[in-house]
Structure 1
Amino acid sequence: METNINNPVKHNGKTMAGIIIVIIGGLLLIDQMNLFFIPDWLISWPMAIIAYGLYMGAKYNFKKAIWVWLIVFGTACLLTDNINDADRVVWPMAIIGLGAWMVMKHSRHAGDQYHEPTYKA
């Protein structure tokens, strides 16, 4: 017998999307049949945004920032929907976090681009 440890199976984006759709469909079916208790927040639009963010991260090997944005936005919406008066704290913290991320990202790139001028005598 021969094993293919060195050649892992590669999944493309369509395969991952299909797997996610099958999981979502299975959760919806279980919820409709009342087989198990599934919390309401688990099957909601903020969780769909979070799942899509994870999908986008996996699709681009977590190199593009869009997955972070989607997960943060979905989490903020999930918290404000399920915790009383959370919107008073969550959205200002999200805005502060966004500003801090922008400052840190731009200051890091600015330091990379700066070079001391060299003068020839």
Structure 2
Amino acid sequence: MANYSKPKSNNDGGLIFGFIILGLGVLLLLRKIGIFYPSWLLSWPMILIVIGLVVSIKHQFKSFFGFIMLFFGVYFLLEREFYFDFGLENYLLPLGLIALGIYLITQKQKEKRIMENVQQQMHNKQFKSSPLDSSDSSSAEAQAGSDESKSNTSDGAKKNFQGISGISYNDRVNIDAIFSGVNKRVLSKKFEGGKLTAAFGGIDLDLTQADFSGTVYLQIDVIFGGTKILVPPHWDVRVEITNIAAGVEDKRMYSQTEVDPEKVLVLRGTCFFGGLEIRSF
């Protein structure tokens, strides 16, 4: 019988949230005993700033979610507590939507270029693997059959690559579910990780047909949304998610399967007022 060791987890979200609660309690205590400190330290914009700083530092200031939290936190803190008048009240929502739209368009265009490159590589590989012998008397018939086969395969590939079936052959995933829901199944045998962002939306990612060797990282940022990931039971899944007023649940069915040390999936990111669920078949 194979020995099974539970995958390691390095989830420090509860620790960080504990320090935040501790700091809040200390400030409230200082106020009760009459020790003066700036009132803006307990203002709601400071909550956004703290969240933005925690997320940004954890992800080396490469998190879009962390940047957004910092921006809004600093903006409202300067405006409401220090009376800075930026004159952006009437433009803040349109500008925010424009920035979000540019971000989504850029990501989708990048994903489209990657899919087109992979599709072209598959087409070239198929063309090279079906040479025709000009000396064969039935070469015309073989060529017609080959052309028809390539046409059908190409049409099927296009359908899959356009995301109609929810199937991805990309080695990396890049999914943004903002006020929407996304279901995706990855079939790559050289999976390299990627990035998931769910804001007021949900993502279902099926990795049961994917494969890789070594260690890959999957960046997950959830705010007022949910993400569910389905993985094979023999993967070593390590959770390093910072969860703030959120839930991260590992609901995998632990069978008598030995964990493969050459397949380590590291989940990193932030879950803020949302949920992350990990399952296996």
1:73 matched residue in structure 2 = 72
Question: Is residue 19 from structure 1 mapped to residue 22 from structure 2 by the alignment?
Answer: no
**Counting helix residues as a fraction of each chain, which structure ranks higher?**
1
| CA separation of 1:39 and 1:105: change in aligned 2, threshold 3 A | same
Give me the whole-angstrom Cα distance separating, in 1, the residues matched to 2:56 and 2:110. Answer: 29
User: Which has the bigger relative contact order, CA under 8 A and spacing at least 6?
Assistant: 2
1:107 matched residue in structure 2 = 106
2:33 matched residue in structure 1 = 33
After superposition, the C-alpha distances for 1:56-101 in whole angstroms (9 at most, x for unaligned) are x169736653333222222222122124462523663675365245
Tell me the TM-score normalized by structure 1.
0.60
Give me the whole-angstrom Cα distance separating, in 1, the residues matched to 2:84 and 2:56. Answer: 33
Extract unaligned runs of 5+ from structure 1. Answer: 1-9
1:49 matched residue in structure 2 = 48
Aligned to 1:88, what secondary structure does the other structure show?
Answer: coil
Deviation at 1:32, TM superposition (A): 2.7
Task: Report if the CA contact (8 A) 1:53-1:67 is conserved.
Answer: yes
Flag the structure with larger Rg.
Answer: 2
Give me the whole-angstrom Cα distance separating, in 2, the residues matched to 1:80 and 1:58. Answer: 23
| CA separation of 1:32 and 1:50: change in aligned 2, threshold 3 A | same
Percent of paired sites with the same residue: 26
Deviation at 1:44, TM superposition (A): 0.8
Deviation at 1:21, TM superposition (A): 0.9
Deviation at 1:53, TM superposition (A): 3.3
Give me the whole-angstrom Cα distance separating, in 2, the residues matched to 1:25 and 1:59. Answer: 23
Deviation at 1:26, TM superposition (A): 1.1
Deviation at 1:23, TM superposition (A): 1.3
Matched pairs, number = 109
Give me the whole-angstrom Cα distance separating, in 1, the residues matched to 2:66 and 2:82. Answer: 24
2:87 matched residue in structure 1 = 88
Extract unaligned runs of 5+ from structure 2. Answer: 1-9, 128-281
| CA separation of 1:75 and 1:29: change in aligned 2, threshold 3 A | same
Tell me the TM-score normalized by structure 2.
0.31
